[in-house]
């Protein structure tokens, strides 16, 4: 099965072609990503209108480049997949409309992919990870612990009560006068900082649930920065190191609780899977490896270029759905909001049913 995937939910215009073998294994034939970071850097964050216009300008070229690099014609495709949400709706419209046009002309199946589902299934693209597994989805817009029980079968075990983890990194970078995107900048500064200099809170730590909260940590960082303003370069580095260490400690504690909840409901997971752009943070990856070792769980962390938004994950999610006969009509609407666990039945209906054990 050969599938074209298109991703335009935020500030990357991406397209990819993947091949799914009969045994479920994957081969990435092309994976083209055009970043808009330079377009948004001056604003300290993504500007939706600028992002949408940039997608319009780039999408045809990116799709053509993905098809060319893969060495495939449209007639050779078995389906076209596009992220239909959640995300910045202007960008989502561009990618989904493009996919609809290709599907209409080629008479190929269309799959409207949930962007979060694509992240959730990336471990199967890279490692053919069997179900069920525990997913830590961490990005600029999402922080969730999810039981991935099958394609379209997701139970959210924990989520953030306020800021997403990537959002907290970005806001910290902006507060400290660092560049955009903030996560890599904070990580870079933290390398030369003293993580023990500032005492910052670890929100939600030691609770039985698997929820997160980062707004209090962000506020505490701001108060510490205001106490010692104006900030020297070393102050900034120490604040970044202290903030990052607090986040790492929270991730370890909250994921340990999430794994405990997973085992209580569904038995031992086949793996702990990390996905989303924040999974590219090296200290977070290190603590995930530590957690996996301490809990006797295998850690699956996709390559860095497949943690951030890309077309290959969209194409793969489309291939997984096509294999099960799950396709969409041209009337499918783009969605700014689309919780991952809405794809499955209500959580209460899934609990205790043998099919989801």
Q: 280-324, pLDDT tens digit by residue?
A: 899 999 999 999 999 999 999 989 889 889 999 999 999 999 999
pLDDT at 343: 58
pLDDT at 222: 96
Cα separation, 275 vs 277, whole angstroms: 7
Average pLDDT score over residue span 9-16: 94
Spell out the CATH class of 2-126+306-338. Answer: alpha beta
Q: Over the chain, what is the mean pLDDT?
A: 92
- Cβ neighbours of 312 (radius 10 Å): 30
pLDDT at 345: 37
pLDDT of residue 44 exceeding 80: no
Q: Is the dihedral of CA 283, 284, 286, 287 positive or negative?
A: positive
Residue with tokens 């999974």: 279
The length of the chain in residues reads 357
Output the CA–CA distances (angstroms, integers) from residue 185 to 30, 42, 169, 171, 182, in the order listed.
Answer: 29, 15, 9, 11, 5
Q: Where in the chain is the domain with CATH 3.30.420.40?
A: 2-126+306-338, 131-300
Report which of 248, 149, 259 is spatially closest to residue 209, judged by C-alpha positions. 259
Superfamily of domain 131-300: ATPase, nucleotide binding domain (3.30.420.40)
Give the global pTM: 0.91
Instruction: Give φ, ψ of 184 to 5 degrees.
Output: -60, -35
């Amino acid at each position: 099965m050969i599938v074209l995937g298109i991703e335009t939910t935020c500030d990357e215009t991406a397209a990819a072609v993947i091949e799914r073998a009969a045994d479920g294994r994957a081969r990435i034939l092309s994976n083209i990503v055009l970043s808009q970071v330079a377009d948004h850097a001056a604003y300290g964050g993504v500007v939706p209108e600028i992002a949408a216009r940039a997608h319009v300008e780039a999408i045809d070229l990116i799709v053509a480049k993905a098809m060319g690099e893969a060495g495939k014609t449209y007639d050779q495709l078995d389906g076209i997949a596009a992220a239909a949400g959640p995300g910045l709706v202007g960008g989502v419209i561009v990618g989904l409309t493009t996919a609809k046009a290709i599907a209409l002309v080629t008479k190929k199946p269309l799959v409207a992919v949930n962007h979060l589902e694509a992240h959730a299934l990336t471990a199967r693209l890279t490692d053919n990870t069997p179900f069920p597994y525990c997913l830590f989805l961490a990005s600029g817009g999402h922080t969730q612990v999810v039981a991935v029980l099958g394609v379209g079968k997701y139970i959210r075990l924990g989520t953030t009560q306020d800021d997403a983890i990537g959002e907290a990194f970005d806001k910290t970078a902006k507060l400290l006068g660092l560049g955009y995107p903030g996560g890599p900048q904070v990580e870079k500064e933290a390398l030369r900082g003293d993580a023990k200099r500032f005492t910052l809170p670890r929100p939600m730590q030691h609770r039985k649930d698997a929820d997160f909260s980062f707004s209090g940590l962000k506020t505490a960082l701001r108060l510490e920065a205001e106490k010692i303003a104006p900030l020297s370069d070393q102050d900034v580095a120490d604040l970044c190191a202290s903030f990052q260490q607090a986040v790492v400690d929270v991730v370890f504690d909250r994921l340990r609780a999430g794994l405990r909840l997973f085992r209580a409901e569904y038995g031992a997971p086949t793996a702990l899977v990390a996905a989303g752009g924040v999974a590219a943070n090296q200290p977070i990856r290190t603590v995930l490896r530590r957690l996996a070792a301490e809990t006797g769980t295998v850690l699956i962390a996709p390559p860095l270029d497949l943690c951030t938004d890309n077309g290959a994950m969209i194409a793969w999610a489309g291939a997984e759905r096509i294999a099960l006969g799950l396709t969409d009509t041209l009337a499918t609407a783009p969605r700014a909001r689309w919780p991952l666990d809405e794809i499955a039945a209500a959580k209460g209906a899934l609990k205790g049913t043998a099919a989801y054990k």
